[in-house]
Chains A and B, each alone.
Chain A
Amino acid sequence: DTAVSQTPKYLVTQMGNDKSIKCEQNLGHDTMYWYKQDSKKFLKIMFSYNNKELIINETVPNRFSPKSPDKAHLNLHINSLELGDSAVYFCASSQGRGQGTDTQYFGPGTRLTVL
């Protein structure tokens, strides 16, 4: 009964490849997020969707494209992978739109390594 789940947990790939990470939440939340955590543990938001509508789109390369088929799923597709994309990617969800005390629940992370 995992609240926020991500697949795969580990992803090792070559530069230039295209890959996808999937996220699902069973909490009935309206908003989902993608975060990137670099090797120095710095966690930064990339995107957020509220009821399938994009509400936050931080300055990330357009090689990264989120897709939300329904409010329980938010996938992240990455084209033409680069060495600098190596990081841990976290999916999260919250009931509201991420303001105030709206608690975000994080998935276990996907550790992406680009060789």
Chain B
Amino acid sequence: QKEVEQDPGPLSVPEGAIVSLNCTYSNSAFQYFMWYRQYSRKGPELLMYTYSSGNKEDGRFTAQVDKSSKYISLFIRDSQPSDSATYLCAMSGAQKLVFGQGTRLTINP
């Protein structure tokens, strides 16, 4: 079993839809949870991070962490074609990030 599980998709939704992306993990030592966005043929870039359980909102993006269930989510409201990318969850352990497989998301105009 991988430390971090993420449905690779692909996920295709119409413009304006609410998108929900999720990851589960097995290592209860993870304290910091991140979402990276990776456009095609580019390197990943940090989108949001959350410490421990709770919610964090940044514009159209909301990150949620439920440590009791070992489950994290990223919600995208009013999705735009420019949001089309691969979204990778990542979790911080001892001095290293552990990434999920990434979910490939396409927003259709």
Contacting pair B101 A101 (CB below 8 A): no
- Establish whether residues B51 and A45, one from each chain, have CB atoms under 8 Å apart when the complex forms: no
Q: Once the chains are docked, how many angstroms separate the CA of A45 from the CA of B98?
A: 8
Q: Are A45 and B96 in contact (CB under 8 A)?
A: yes
Interface residues contributed by chain B, number (CB under 8 Å): 23
Q: Is the CB of A56 within 8 A of B96?
A: yes
Contact B95 A98 (CB under 8 A): yes
Taking CB as reference atom, which chain B residue is nearest A50?
B95
A56 to B46, Cβ gap below 8 A?
no
Which of B41, B49, B95 has the largest number of chain A CB atoms within 10 A? Answer: B95
- The answer on a CB contact under 8 Å between B99 and A43 is yes
Q: Complex formed: what's the CA distance from A101 to B35 in Å? A: 12
Interface residues, chain A, CB within 8 Å of chain B? 4, 40-45, 48, 55-56, 58, 90, 92, 97-101, 103-109
- What residues of chain B have their CB less than 8 Å away from a CB belonging to chain A? 8, 31-32, 38, 41-46, 49, 51, 86, 88, 92, 94-97, 99, 101-102, 104
* New A-B contacts (4) at CB < 8 Å, excluding given A41-B101, A41-B104, A45-B96: A41-B88, A100-B32, A106-B44, A109-B43
